[in-house]
A and B are shown apart, each in its own frame.
Chain A
Amino acid sequence: MKKWQCIVCGFEYDEAEGMPDEGVEPGTKWADIPDDWTCPDCGAPKDDFEMMEVE
């Protein structure tokens, strides 16, 4: 399980937690999120996210 971060606004996506509010089940891999998905906080496209190291 990895964490991803929106480099535009800092929003974090944790694959282990998913985004239940957005209908994304815990454990959903980043690669399985559709390409037209946008950041729930700032609206940035998926391209603007990148992997960050899990602390």
Chain B
Amino acid sequence: MDPIIIIGTGLAGYSVAREFRKHDKDTPVILITRDDGASYYKPDISEAYAKDKTSEELVQKSAEEMAEMLGATVKTHEQVEAIDREQRQIRLVGGETLTYGRLVLAWGAEPITLNLSGDAVEAVHKVNNLMDYRAFRDSLPDKARVAVLGAGLIGCEFANDLIGAGHKVSVADPAEWPLQQLLPKEAGNAVRKELAHGGVEWHLGQAAVGVHRADNGDLRVELDNKDSIRADVVLSAVGLRVGVKLAEKAGLAVDRGIVVDRTLRTSDPHVFALGDCAEVDGHWRPYVAPLMQCARTLGKTLAGGKDDTPGQVKYPTLPIIIKTHLCPVIVCPPVNKHGEWQVEGHGTAIEARFVDKSGKLLGFALTGEATSKRRDYLKEAPALME
């Protein structure tokens, strides 16, 4: 029997393998990863200090342990070079070819690289997996000055975690307030205030344009208003983008991600995608909750017979939890844009409701102590994809 081949061993790849095994113990499964295949809980990376964990301690299971648990083969440090859909084969760098019955693309997304000038651009870290994090963490001296580029979810979580560990953190972003893509101004400002109180120096409304090496060895982040930030280490966290080239070259439909329908099928009935690399029925949501919904649905589908109707993924109300411990945030982005934010609260306890003309709740954001009301809001908020 031709195996199910899964490209990627992040949360998406391993979760779909585990869900598949709940229904099918026999069909061979091969997972392929370009890293060491260690299994870890990615959201822990940006709060590792708060959890008092080193990068090694974040590993939950090694590739060998995962292979045994899943009854699967895990091929580590292998890069897929091409997908041949005619022959149902993938080719690895190095020449090996593998034949699949069904192929699952779960290779995640890549951090966006800012277009920066300067002679120290190579020194900028980006963290989107445990190996990146290890390199970043190893580069930090005690009480490091860290410049974080990007005040989004990952940038804010890192800022909070790093100041907690005694580092000195500056954050630069062209946005007017932190988490601008997710939160209304008042809620973003609550996060700004609390993190500033904790020691974060904000450079909002200011974009990084260059990273230079100063004479004394410092890194100097040049901002577009001619200010600059002196730092020992620079971390860029300006968002994710899906690497679609391999899929595109194989002739699969791509947009912001690899295009799949609600059965997680790509434009080829033998090829599926889920997780951060997939755009499901027009939605690209690179977060844990949607990924897990997809893994459960796809695990069952892959185990089903030819004549079974494949399950359709449903996205219930999907909260995004932002672990800025100094000012925690829970946000459910509006399911559509036809409405406006209504904001209540004071200090750092902000309740923001995004409502349509009739007053129906389409999304919400809660900060600080207001996050204790999350259960009421989760009940009232609509599902994203029913």
Residues of A within 8 A of B (CB): 7-11, 38, 41-45, 48, 50
Contacts and interface: CB of A to CB of B under 8 A. Distances in A.
Task: Give me the 8 closest cross-chain CB pairs, A-B, nearest first.
Answer: A43-B41, A9-B292, A8-B288, A42-B292, A42-B288, A9-B289, A9-B288, A43-B60
A44 B288 contact: yes
Interface in B32-89: 39-41, 43-44, 51, 60
B41 A10 contact: no
Contacts of A41: 15, 18, 292
B43 A44 contact: yes
B101 interface: no
A50 B375 CA distance: 9
A10 B293 contact: yes
A42 B15 contact: yes
Given A7-B321, A9-B289, A9-B292, A44 B15 contact: no
B184 interface: no
A38 B288 CA distance: 15
A36 B124 CA distance: 34
B319 A43 contact: no
B289 A44 contact: no
18 contacts: A7-B319, A8-B43, A8-B288, A8-B289, A10-B292, A10-B316, A11-B292, A38-B41, A41-B292, A42-B15, A42-B41, A42-B292, A43-B39, A43-B40, A44-B288, A45-B44, A48-B321, A50-B375
Contacts of B39: 43
A45 B51 CA distance: 10
Nearest to A6: B292
B11 A42 contact: yes
Interface in B279-327: 288-289, 292-293, 316, 319, 321
A46 to B, nearest CB: 12
Contact of A44 (B18, B41, B51): B41
Contacts of A42: 11, 15, 41, 288, 292
A8 B319 CA distance: 8
Nearest to A48: B321
Q: Is the interface of A mostly helix, strand, loop or mixed?
A: loop
Most chain B CB within a 10 A radius of its CB, from A11, A42, A50: A42
Given A7-B319, A10-B293, A44-B288, 8 more contacts: A8-B43, A8-B288, A8-B292, A9-B293, A38-B41, A42-B292, A45-B41, A48-B321
A5 B316 CA distance: 14
Interface string B167-195: 00000000000000000000000000000
A27 B184 CA distance: 44
Contact of B60 (A7, A9, A38): A38
Nearest to B295: A41
B52 to A, nearest CB: 12
A41 B299 CA distance: 12
Interface string B16-41: 00100000000000000000000111
Contacts of B316: 10
Contacts of B18: 41
B318 to A, nearest CB: 9
A41 B15 CA distance: 7
A55 B18 CA distance: 28
A3 to B, nearest CB: 14
Nearest to A43: B41
Question: Which of B11, B60, B292, B375: most chain A Cβ within 10 A?
Answer: B292
B96 to A, nearest CB: 30
Contacts of B60: 38, 43
Contacts of B41: 38, 42-45
A28 to B, nearest CB: 21
